[in-house]
């Protein structure tokens, strides 16, 4: 058989007999050019938007350095395909990839800019990376868009309008609110798939957040990436998952994960099937064009799209507990950078004294945030990358923490130098800084050095003794004058207080009582069972309720875990297990401020130490956990059984809370889970707050064992193999590493309450647990600031200030280029409220309304002659103008002059991201000075 040598394509040839004939069906090969393709009358009546993309995992089964190179290679491939296929449209998300290309290949970056201007390269997503969408703080999601969208605006002139997270394993319910605040009104995702969440609509739908914000959303069918060849399989599989009576449809294609992008074979096959009419009308498109077509169809036909309320789960339940290290490093870095930017702008506003180093360090903070955001990537933070990737993650997050600590230390020293600290013989000044925008009473641990051997006591700025107790120094070597003390500190909101170490200590009066198995103060009574090492009693004295008496079920149990690194196909880790036996119980600290009992357990080669600690005036029991784990392929569950009936489970999610079923399912949470119900004839509840754990279950009575009462479970340890994906079988001789081997430490709080979790204030308690106050020794000197001051405070317990920072637009500030101040707050209790935010350091007091779980961001000028405005999460003016907020100027000299600034030009202009209409006047009494003193 002979062939035309010149007519070869994709490995197929045309028979000589067809030469010169008009071409009909073209199952393979390049598109025929000898005739135009008429519309096929019998083709399906539907339009499929074919979305060319290349999902690049910057880290996964390879290190970030390989992803760095792959981003450049993939984008060059895309540029070349665009030269060959004039209709080809490419969609790119993950702004970090563009930043990498700009850094390493300016020529390529300019070519990309040209294609963006043509409308053929579409930047989507608007976030720095595709992060895990459950574990990061709400503020981190805000920063993903802040840095991502601003990069796109700066370098391409336009932001993304479509949110896109094709690969993360679940999506928290507040994402629509966050997207709306970043100028994105549509969203596309892949997981969970139809087999994992069958009730998620197969057509586009409205996804509604707890605050009422909504975005038009569509799930990607089958896969976001494809093979490098013919796309029939990709389209067939995609259509099988879609509601095919809805038009238009959307299918993604292009080689992905390790990059690559759409290939010639991909594009040729789209052209062939378009000509043949096989699937309907195939359009080379983008997500933005698809959603525009959906909107047009909805408006033209007056369609009612379904609504979805809540989060989008579940795909990989084990990723919320895999690799405890990355969870801990990430939490530490987030808190450190948020704290640093807070103190940096306060120090800047207070005055630089001619020192340019005290200017708001925007560049350093940006670098720190980039490292934090990058390591929220959905194969890093979930623990699903290769082992060596976590060495890089540790170093990068360490860089972020190091930058943050340097900024915080510099700012604290600058503020401390302005405080008046008169010389007093035989004392050592200590400044304690509270980063939280509410006053707190806490115990400060202080290692000190004084000129002579002392057993230090502590007094406040007025010389009044404060409760203290000696503690063990961090230094093993004894040294004259070196020691350690714990003392009770009352600290103003986002402020500081001056204390002094003195040579003698006054023994305080305390209600704290400790025995071998009991801890008690005026608020709680705790009793441990000497056999099980767990609570026999936890009495909330305010209500008289014992939250655990009569409860049953194991506390620390271990079972084998055959699930892969992600925990694919896992519904729960709440399985019956073997209880870790108690080795011994012994007293820990015993003083007037705090006392503790230590429980030691051993199981095979592993040990667990729990130190149950009660503070003198605390309404919570703190438990400090140290684990040395040496067991592969196991799960250690830390379970808190309670004596409650008809319980309801509430989980903290980014910027909000969510009620979920009491069904033992493994669920993600930010930092706390609450279980509330009835204890006898009283309403009662218990909140469990942790430092760096995200995998929880709330199990009903009878689970995981028949005699179990309802319980909250924390997945404390999972030890799968690194980057192991079932159904691949593990080779015992491969030398592969297992996660969570070795030492780790975390803390958790048990907070009894009267049945309404809001009264326990868990979100604020969690912030205090995760970000402690900072104490520093200070010299004597004159200054203009008092011995204690508050710089910023929120008056409503339900409204939390989550960010205080310098504006990303210094040019919008005063004439010398100083940045304005950005303040963001969120309502955390799920109720509407009107509240006041006192921002003493900029001389303003804001009064604003908040709807349930509403996030609002304010730009406060340093000049009192300029108005406070509300901005979005990218720090741009709100569309249609600012909503109602009142500002009152606070100034000690001249005396307070009211400056009510009603910002909303039209109170009816309230969008999905907006506040309730109407705003009462500011009736707060005038402040007597710029900084309030407690």
How do residues 363-393 score in pLDDT, each as one tens digit?
Answer: 999 999 999 999 999 999 999 999 999 999 9
Query: Exposed/middle/buried for 13, CB within 10 Å: 0-12, 13-18, 19+?
Result: middle
On the question of pLDDT at 930 being above 80, the answer is: no
Query: What's the pLDDT at 76?
Result: 98
Q: Is the pLDDT of residue 694 over 60?
A: yes
Instruction: Give me the percent of the chain exceeding a pLDDT of 90.
Output: 81
Residue 239's CB is within 10 A of a number of other CB atoms, namely: 18
Instruction: State whether residue 558 is helix, strand or coil.
Output: strand
Instruction: Answer yes or no: is pLDDT of 4 > 50.
Output: no
pLDDT value at residue 653:
98
Using an 8 Å Cβ cutoff, are 747 and 622 in contact?
yes
Q: Which of the two residues, 932 and 850, has the higher pLDDT score?
A: 850
**Which pLDDT band, with edges at 50, 70 and 90, does 353 fall under?**
low
Confidence label for 630 from pLDDT (cuts 50, 70 and 90): very high
pLDDT in tens, 521-579: 999 999 999 999 999 999 999 999 999 999 999 999 999 999 999 999 999 999 999 99
Q: Is the pLDDT of residue 905 over 50?
A: no
Looking at every residue in the chain, the average pLDDT score rounds to 90
Within 8 A by CB and 6+ apart from 244, the residues are: 46
> Which residues, including other chains, have CB under 8 Å from residue 223's CB and lie 6 or more apart?
190, 234, 237, 238, 252
pLDDT exceeds 60 at position 704: yes
Quote the crossing angle between the two packed helices 138-156 and 106-118, to the nearest 10°.
90
Tens of pLDDT along 806-848?
A: 999 975 544 456 889 999 999 999 999 999 999 999 999 999 9
pTM of the model: 0.93
> Does the pLDDT at position 34 exceed 60?
no
> In 489-633, which ranges are continuous DSSP H helix?
none
- Comparison of pLDDT for 99 and 862, the residue scoring more: 99
Burial class (CB in 10 A: 0-12, 13-18, 19+), 820: buried
| Strands annotated E in 220-280 | 249-253
Dihedral, CA of residue 336, residue 338, residue 339 and residue 344, to nearest 10: 120
Is residue 378 a contact partner of residue 316, using CB atoms and an 8 Å limit?
no
DSSP 792-834: -EES-TTEEEEEEEE-S-GGGSSTT-PPPEEEEEEE-SSS-EE
Comparing C-alpha atoms, which of 840, 670, 67, 717 is closest to residue 392? Answer: 67
Question: What's residue 516's pLDDT?
Answer: 96
pLDDT in tens, 253-282: 999 999 999 999 999 999 999 999 999 999
Give the model's pLDDT for residue 32.
Answer: 59
Per-residue model confidence as pLDDT tens digits over 131-154: 999 999 999 999 999 999 999 999
Q: What is the pLDDT of residue 705?
A: 96
Angular region, 664: left φ>0, alpha ψ -120 to 50, beta rest: left
Reported confidence tier of residue 909, pLDDT bands at 50, 70, 90: very low
Q: Residue 900 pLDDT > 60, yes or no?
A: no
pLDDT band with cut points at 50, 70 and 90 for residue 892: very low
SS3 content of the chain, % helix, strand, coil (to 5): 20, 30, 45
**What is the model's pLDDT at position 657?**
98
């Amino acid at each position: 058989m002979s062939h035309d040598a010149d007519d070869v394509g994709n490995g197929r040839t045309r028979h000589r007999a067809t030469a010169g004939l008009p071409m009909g069906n073209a199952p393979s090969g390049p598109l025929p050019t000898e005739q135009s393709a008429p519309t096929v009358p019998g083709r399906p009546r539907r339009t499929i938007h074919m979305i060319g993309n290349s999902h690049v995992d910057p880290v996964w089964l390879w290190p970030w350095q390989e992803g760095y190179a792959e981003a450049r290679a993939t984008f060059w491939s895309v540029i070349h395909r665009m030269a060959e296929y004039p209709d080809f449209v490419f969609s790119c998300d993950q702004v970090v990839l563009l930043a990498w290309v700009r850094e390493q290949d300016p020529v390529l970056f300019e070519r990309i800019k040209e294609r963006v201007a043509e409308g053929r390269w579409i930047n989507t997503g608007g976030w720095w990376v595709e992060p895990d969408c459950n574990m990061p703080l709400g503020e981190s999601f805000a920063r993903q868009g802040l840095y991502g969208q601003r990069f796109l605006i700066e370098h391409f002139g336009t932001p993304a309008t479509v949110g896109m997270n094709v690969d993360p394993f679940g999506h928290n319910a507040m994402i629509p609110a966050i997207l709306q605040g970043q100028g994105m009104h549509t969203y596309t995702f892949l997981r969970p798939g139809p087999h994992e969440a069958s009730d998620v609509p197969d057509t586009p739908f409205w996804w509604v957040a707890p605050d009422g914000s909504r975005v038009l959303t569509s799930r990607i069918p089958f896969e976001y990436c494809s093979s490098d060849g013919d796309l029939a399989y990709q389209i067939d599989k995609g259509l099988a998952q879609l509601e095919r009576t809805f038009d238009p449809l959307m299918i993604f294609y292009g080689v992905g994960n390790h990059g690559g992008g759409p290939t010639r074979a991909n594009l040729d096959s789209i052209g062939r099937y378009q000509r043949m009419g096989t699937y309907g009308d195939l359009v080379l498109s983008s997500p933005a064009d698809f959603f525009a077509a959906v909107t047009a169809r909805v408006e033209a036909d007056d369609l009612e799209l379904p609504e979805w309320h809540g989060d989008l789960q579940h795909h990989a339940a084990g990723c919320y507990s895999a690799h405890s290290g990355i969870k801990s490093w990430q939490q530490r870095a987030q808190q450190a950078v948020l704290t640093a930017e807070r103190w940096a702008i306060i120090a800047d506003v207070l005055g630089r004294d001619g020192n340019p180093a005290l200017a708001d360090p925007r560049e350093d903070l940006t670098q720190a945030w980039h490292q934090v955001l990058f390591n929220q990537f959905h194969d890093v933070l979930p623990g699903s990358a290769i082992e060596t990737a976590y060495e890089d993650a540790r170093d990068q997050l360490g860089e972020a923490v190091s930058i943050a600590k340097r900024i915080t230390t510099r700012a604290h020293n600058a503020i401390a130098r302005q405080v008046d600290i008169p010389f007093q013989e035989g004392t050592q000044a200590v400044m304690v800084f509270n980063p939280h925008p509410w006053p707190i009473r806490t115990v400060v641990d202080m290692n000190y050095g004084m000129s002579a051997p002392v057993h230090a006591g502590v007094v406040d700025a007025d010389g009044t003794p404060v409760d203290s107790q000696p503690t063990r120094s961090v230094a093993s070597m004894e040294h004259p004058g070196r020691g350690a003390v714990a003392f009770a500190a009352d600290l103003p909101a986002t402020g500081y207080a001056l204390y002094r170490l003195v040579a003698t200590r006054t023994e305080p009066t305390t209600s704290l009582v400790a025995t071998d198995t009991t801890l008690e103060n005026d608020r709680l009574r705790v009793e441990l069972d000497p056999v099980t090492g767990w609570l026999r009693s936890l009495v909330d004295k305010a209500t008289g309720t014992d939250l655990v008496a009569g409860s049953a079920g194991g506390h620390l149990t271990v079972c084998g875990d055959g699930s892969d690194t992600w925990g694919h196909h896992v519904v729960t880790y709440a399985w019956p297990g073997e209880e870790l036996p108690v080795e011994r119980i012994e007293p820990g600290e015993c003083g007037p401020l705090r006392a503790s009992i230590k429980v030691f357990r051993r199981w095979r080669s592993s040990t667990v130490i729990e130190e149950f600690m009660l503070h003198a005036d605390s309404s919570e029991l703190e438990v400090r956990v140290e684990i040395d784990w040496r067991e592969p392929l196991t799960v250690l569950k830390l379970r808190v059984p309670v004596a409650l009936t008809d319980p309801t489970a509430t989980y903290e999610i980014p910027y909000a809370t969510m009620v979920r079923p009491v069904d033992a399912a493994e669920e993600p949470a930010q930092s706390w889970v609450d279980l509330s119900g009835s204890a006898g004839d009283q309403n009662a509840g218990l909140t469990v707050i942790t430092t760096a754990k995200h995998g929880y279950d709330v199990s009903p009575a009878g689970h995981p064992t028949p005699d179990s009462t309802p319980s909250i479970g924390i997945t404390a340890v999972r030890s799968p193999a690194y980057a192991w994906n079932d159904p691949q079988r593990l080779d015992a001789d491969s030398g592969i590493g297992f996660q969570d081997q070795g030492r780790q430490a975390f803390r958790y709080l048990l907070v009894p309450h009267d049945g309404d979790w809001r009264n326990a204030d868990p979100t604020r308690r969690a912030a205090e647990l995760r970000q402690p106050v900072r104490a520093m020794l200070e010299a004597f000197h004159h200054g203009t600031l008092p011995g204690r001051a508050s710089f910023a405070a929120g008056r409503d317990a339900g409204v939390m200030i989550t960010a205080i920072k310098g504006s990303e637009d210094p040019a919008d500030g005063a004439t010398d280029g100083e940045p304005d101040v950005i303040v963001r707050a969120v309502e955390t209790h799920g109720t509407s409220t009107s509240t006041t935010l006192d921002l003493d350091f900029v001389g303003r007091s804001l009064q604003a309304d908040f709807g349930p779980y509403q996030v609002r961001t304010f730009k406060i000028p340093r000049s009192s002659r300029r108005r406070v405005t509300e901005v979005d999460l990218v720090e741009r003016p709100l569309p249609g103008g600012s909503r109602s907020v009142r500002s009152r100027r606070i100034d000690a000299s001249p005396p307070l002059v009211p400056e009510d600034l009603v910002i909303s030009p039209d109170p009816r202009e309230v969008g999905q991201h907006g506040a309730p209409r109407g705003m009462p006047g500011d009736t707060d009494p005038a402040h007597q000075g710029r900084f309030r003193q407690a």
